[in-house]
């Protein structure tokens, strides 16, 4: 569904806002002022702006605001995404409706389009060497018209889920700290002691390196009381820009990096960026630092102390293993971007043989494991062992048989309300045939909005009928659909990560807006005995809304892609 806009003055949205530090914390008015109201500013004095949907119904500010808030919720809303994207394409001076990014990253798309930067994709990979460092140098030299190229370069390369603020140099950050100390002193009568303490600790930050980050909130309800540090520090960073913009003139010294709308108005993490340090650094150093930032953001934060600042990268910096993991994760992401392509779905449902063939191909390319239930033997000729028939003839090789282990098979069957008993039975029979073909036992969970207990179903040397009878004894959960709990369950165990996991589903689920970790060995297969057009429609929506999480999602759809 799309919206039609007329009579509006094309806008350039600014991320700088002025949320108050006292009273109840409500970012909605700031979102309305910063994003929604510019779409209702008439092109001419005394003119009017109209926004209508495809049913020719007029949409007012409240309606547009409500739709916008649906795009920054917990999960992707395809209809709201389509409506707001169409509005952005018509109402902004710079916006590309063909972007693969969500509305939540609209500031990034606006900046990239203004600097004629192509969308990231299979043939366009952004890097620190070719994009971030040149953007930093241009900003330092005064050759950039604004900070948009720096914002888009960082976002297209690393996609951090945080609110960023850049400073031209460590000296400019020191100037901000002096100003912040003055403001803290002026507000000392109303600021709580804990907030003053945290502001003083923040003033000890030394931004001589590339990046420094702080965790402000453990969740959206944390740190929202009036005069809290989370509210005060963001307010001060915004106010500092507003007060000094006229003094800076064309050479801006501080700016905001709004990577996502959700973090801009309710940040859990802030990142301070030293532009001069980026301009002088090597690509490898920049790359390692931002990978570490992303790894730190992805780690769950249990408790935020009111007594001490929580440095974003403190724990990962203390663990060399974490840095190595970040390197591997970013490398995998770049490879996925390079492999992603337009997905063409089959016109006919796959057979069990089609799914089996594809899974065997996937299994063949997976690494062997040290131990599993999926055992196979290899025999090779070797002169290290005597020939069995003629052991005294050293010119005749013997045979050595070695045991190898492929990853185990783990099935997750969708048993939500949209899946009938017949669909469930067909899915189980397909898995039984697969396990029989491999002659392996099968790990199994059913899931809806909850996940059943994991069980091991013994299939070796048993008939299909007997295996089905054992399947029927396994408790089955029901309810709504939630894929992310399956992802979290797999990622919580290194053993489960190494298995070949297959989710059998009807794809009726919307992914979260945030970039979360997708299991590297998880694949998806469609339910049998369902309307194929309905499956394809749901899978198409699922694939489109998964691009920010798994760019190569098409390669994980078993039996669906032509």
Domain boundaries, the chain: 97-336, 352-367+407-556
DSSP assigned state of 403: E
CB 40 within 8 A of CB 6: no
414 closest CA partner among 555, 509, 556, 550: 509
- Residue 369: the pLDDT is 59
- Residue 280: the pLDDT is 94
Tokens of 253: 């010294």
CB 218 within 8 A of CB 303: yes
The alpha carbon of 475 is separated from its chain's Cα centroid by a whole number of angstroms, namely: 33
Strand partners, 165: 256, 272
Fold annotation for 352-367+407-556:
Rossmann fold (3.40.50)
278's enclosing H/E stretch is helix 275-280
The CA-atom distances, in angstroms, between 440 and each of 406, 411, 437, 457, 496 are 10, 13, 8, 9, 16
- Residue 368: the pLDDT is 67
- Walk along the chain (562 residues) and give the pLDDT tens digit of each residue: 789 999 999 999 999 998 999 999 999 999 999 999 999 999 999 899 999 999 999 999 999 999 999 999 888 899 999 999 999 999 999 999 889 899 999 999 999 999 999 998 878 899 999 999 999 999 999 889 899 999 999 999 999 999 999 999 999 999 999 999 999 999 999 999 999 999 999 999 999 999 999 999 888 888 899 999 999 999 999 999 999 887 877 788 999 999 999 999 999 999 999 999 999 999 999 999 999 998 888 875 444 556 667 777 665 655 545 445 555 555 555 544 444 456 788 888 888 788 888 888 887 777 665 666 666 677 878 887 888 888 888 788 888 877 766 788 899 999 888 888 787 888 888 888 877 877 777 888 999 999 988 888 887 778 888 888 888 777 788 888 999 999 999 999 988 998 889 999 999 999 988 888 899 999 999 987 788 889 999 999 999 889 888 888 888 998 888 7
Residues in the chain: 562
CB 475 within 8 A of CB 510: no
105/111 Cα distance (integer angstroms): 10
357's enclosing H/E stretch is helix 352-365
Give per-residue pLDDT as tens, 51-69.
Answer: 999 999 999 999 999 999 9
């Amino acid at each position: 569904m799309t919206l039609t806009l007329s009579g509006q003055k094309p806008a350039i949205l600014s991320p700088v806002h002025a949320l108050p530090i006292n009273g109840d914390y409500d970012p909605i008015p700031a979102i309305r002022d910063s994003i929604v109201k510019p779409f209702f500013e008439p092109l001419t004095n005394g003119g009017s702006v109209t926004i209508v949907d495809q049913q020719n119904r007029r949409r007012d500010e409240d309606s547009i605001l409500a739709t916008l808030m649906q795009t920054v919720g917990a999960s992707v809303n395809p209809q709201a995404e389509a409506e707001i994207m169409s509005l952005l394409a018509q109402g902004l001076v710079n916006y590309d409706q063909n972007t693969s990014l969500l509305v939540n990253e609209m500031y990034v798309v606006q900046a990239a389009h203004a600097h004629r930067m192509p969308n990231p994709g299979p043939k366009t990979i952004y890097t620190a060497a070719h994009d971030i460092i040149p953007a930093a140098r241009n900003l330092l030299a005064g050759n950039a018209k604004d900070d948009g190229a720096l914002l888009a370069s960082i976002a297209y390369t690393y996609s951090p889920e945080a609110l960023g603020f850049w400073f031209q140099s460590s000296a400019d950050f020191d100037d901000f700290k002096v100003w912040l100390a003055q403001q803290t002193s002026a507000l000392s009568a109303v600021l709580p002691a804990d907030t003053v303490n945290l502001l003083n600790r923040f003033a000890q930050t030394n931004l001589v390196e590339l990046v420094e980050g702080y965790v402000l909130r453990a969740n959206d309800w944390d740190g929202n009381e009036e005069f809290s540090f989370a509210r005060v520090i963001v307010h001060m960073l915004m106010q500092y820009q507003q007060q000094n913009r006229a003094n800076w003139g064309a050479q801006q010294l501080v700016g905001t990096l709004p990577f996502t709308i959700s973090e801009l108005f309710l940040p859990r993490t802030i990142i301070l960026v030293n532009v001069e340090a980026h301009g002088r650094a090597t690509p490898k150093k920049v790359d390692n630092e931002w990978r570490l930032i992303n790894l730190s953001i992805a780690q769950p934060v249990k408790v935020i102390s009111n007594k001490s600042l929580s440095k974003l990268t403190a724990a990962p910096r203390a663990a060399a293993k974490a840095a190595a993991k970040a390197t591997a994760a970013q490398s995998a992401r770049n490879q996925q971007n390079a492999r992603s392509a337009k997905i063409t779905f089959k016109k006919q449902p796959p057979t069990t043989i089609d799914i089996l063939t594809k899974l065997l191909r996937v299994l063949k390319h997976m690494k062997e494991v040290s131990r599993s239930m999926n055992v196979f033997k290899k025999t090779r000729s070797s002169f290290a062992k005597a020939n069995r028939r003629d052991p005294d003839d050293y010119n005749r090789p013997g045979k050595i048989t070695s045991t190898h282990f492929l990853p185990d098979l783990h099935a997750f069957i969708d048993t939500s309300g949209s899946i009938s008993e017949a669909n469930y039975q067909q899915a189980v029979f397909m898995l039984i045939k697969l396990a029989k073909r491999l002659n392996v036992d099968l790990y199994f969970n059913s899931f809806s909005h909850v996940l059943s207990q994991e069980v091991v179903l013994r299939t070796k040397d048993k008939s299909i009928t007997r295996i089905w009878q054992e399947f029927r004894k396994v408790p089955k959960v029901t309810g709504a659909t939630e894929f992310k709990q399956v992802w979290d369950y797999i990622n919580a165990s290194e053993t489960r990560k190494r298995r070949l996991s297959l989710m059998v589903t009807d794809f009726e689920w919307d992914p979260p807006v945030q970039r979360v970790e997708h299991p590297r060995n998880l694949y998806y297969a469609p339910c049998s005995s369902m309307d194929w057009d309905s499956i394809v429609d749901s899978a198409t929506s699922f694939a489109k809304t998964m691009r920010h999480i798994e760019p190569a999602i098409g390669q994980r759809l078993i039996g669906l892609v032509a």
